[in-house]
Each structure stands twice: as structure tokens, then as C-alpha cells.
A = this chain, B = another copy of it.
Amino acid sequence: MTTLKPFLSDNAAPVHPRVWEAMQAADSADNPYDGDALSAELDTRFTDLFGRECAGLWIATGTAANCLALATMVQPHGGVVCHEEAHIEVDEGGAPGFYLHGAKLMLAQGEGAKLTPTAIAALIDPIRDDVHQVQPHAIAITQASEYGRSYTPRELAALAEFAKARGLGLHMDGARFANAAAFLGGDASAAAGGVDSLAFGCIKNGAMSAEAVVLFDPEQADLVKYRRKRAGHLQCKGRYLAAQVLAMLEDDLWLDNARHANAAAAEIASGCGDRLMHPVEANELFVRLSPEEREALRAQDFAFYDWGDDAARFVTAWDTKAEDAAALGKAIAAL
């Protein structure tokens, strides 16, 4: 039996050895829930990382992270503007409707699954300012986007300014924030821009079961803590989740892992030429490939998902082998 060269997703990769170590180091008993010493470190560590005061809370999934953060901004009768292909709209099983008690996702358009002030204004300006129409309360963007595009600091500044002008919260789904930050040069603060909250992804980047909700208004932490408990997400052995997040932050493991994945993606991209549907600015590639071409690649043991009828998606991860990436790039170039 041959070994597959896996480019299906980064969401099922193994746990990084340093994350394992950190979890095991957390094994001795401590206070339950988030009363342990490790959980207590998160605020400081994220404040250091972003250079502005913030609160950091562990949470088991990105879906819950996004929803809990949005709950600080959005009333049940309000709405969240997001891209029509945003993960919260397409792939979270209606979680925002649950966590926000029926609030509405309002779908804007934009190239590469990215939003712009112009696109958002086109969506919300026609909304009548009356009780018959749901009013937007927040904007949610994804960094890197669902098509592997990274918002630049300039784009983020424009969105933050727009959000502020309109009185809207601004949340960032950072399931692959590390990949965007790595692409943008490694500055966490630049990659987050002026958002109010961030779902800081760790799981796709080497952790097992811990993401972080980062709240740049630390006064919102209390609300998120109550809601996290109420959602059954306050694990009693929370120290194992804190350990994962801290391990990711330690010595920039989060960036190193993302750089590795991005480099592998870039290596593949180098073989794709104008087959690329989107610039590769993180660790995902969307590549035009006919059914026959995809079959040919699979015959060479590359594993990946179809993306509609005429394309494929490839995702690299912290553990992608450089030789696999190189081989894939060459194989595509040779088609």
C-alpha cells in the first residue's frame, strides 16, 4: 500500500510535538476550569503579542470562538455582515443563529472571499432604518480568507475605519490567522489591524483542541466567559487547552508552523502558473484542473478535494513534507 501525499486539509494534521509536551507538562492537578496557572497567562501573552491590551480565552473550536466573539457585538435582533462564502455562513451548521439567538447573517460579495467597505456599503446602505428590516450590528471578516487571501494592513485599516464610522463591531475569523500573519511578514498586530475581536486559530496550525478568543476590549471578557460556560465550552481541565495555546505562542511556534505551510503552498503554486484561481497568500491553493487532470494527480497518490467540476483545492499544513509539495508542484506543471 502506498502512502498518500496529503493535501486534503490542515484540519486533521497531527499535533505538534511541542504541543504534546506542553499538554503533558500540564498534567499535574491545578484548579479546574480556567482557574489554573496556565489559563491565567493568556491575557498577558496575547497583550504582548498584539502590543495592545486584550483578553485571551481558550475555546475548543473556531466555530465557538467566532460565535462567542460576535455575541459581544450583536444583539439577537441585529445582523452580521459577512462574505457570502464566509465560513460562518457556509460551514458552521447555523452556529451563529444559535449563539446570537436568531441574529441574521447578511451576505456581501467580494473577490477572493474578501470584503471591502464598498461591498459592505452596497449591501447595507439600502437597508431602511426602520424596525421592519434587520440592522447590521457587526462585520465579520476571515484572515486568511476562505480562498487563501490575506487582508493587507491597509485593507484592514479601511475596514476598521468603515466599521467605526457605521457603529459596527469588527470581528476576524482567524482560523488561518497564522498563515496570513506569516504571509504579511510575521507581525501579529499588522495582520489583525483594528479588529475588535479575533478567533486566533491554533488547531489547523499544530494544536489539538484549542483556539483562542482574543478580545481587544478586555471588558467584554466577562460576557464571553459567561457565554462560554453556558455553551458547555468551559472544560474542567482547561489547563490542557491553555497549554496548547501557550505552546503555540512560545518561541513563535505559531509563526514557524505557518511559514512552513505557506512555503509548501508557494512551492506548489510555482508549478501552477495561470491555473491558479486566486493568488496564494497563505496555505491554500485553488487550482483549475480538469477531471482527467485530477485523476492523473490522484494516480500519483496526491490526496485533495475537488473544488466544483473544474478545479481542486490543496491545503498545506505544518507537517507537509517539502518533497511532497515539490512533487505536487512539478506534477501539476507537467500536466
Chain A residues close to B by CB (< 8 Å) = 6, 9, 11-15, 20, 24, 27-32, 36, 59-65, 67, 75-79, 90-105, 131-135, 203-204, 208-209, 223, 225-237, 239-241
Main secondary structure of the interface of A (DSSP, over half): loop
Q: Assess the A93–B133 pair: CB atoms within 8 A.
A: yes
Q: Assess the A203–B94 pair: CB atoms within 8 A.
A: no
Chain B residues near A239: list those with CB within 8 A: 12
Query: In the complex, how many angstroms separate the beta carbon of A135 from the nearest chain B beta carbon?
Result: 8
Chain B residues near A75: list those with CB within 8 A: 223, 226
Chain B residues near A133: list those with CB within 8 A: 90-91, 93
Q: Assess the B32–A230 pair: CB atoms within 8 A.
A: no
Chain B residues near A241: list those with CB within 8 A: 209
Partner of A93, one of B99, B131, B203, B235: B131
6 A-B pairs within 8 Å (CB atoms) are namely A61-B232, A77-B230, A93-B131, A132-B229, A209-B209, A233-B233
Q: Do A94 and B77 contact each other (CB < 8 Å), given the known contacts A29-B6, A233-B61?
A: yes
Q: Assess the B233–A11 pair: CB atoms within 8 A.
A: no
Chain B residues near A79: list those with CB within 8 A: 94
Chain B residues near A225: list those with CB within 8 A: 131
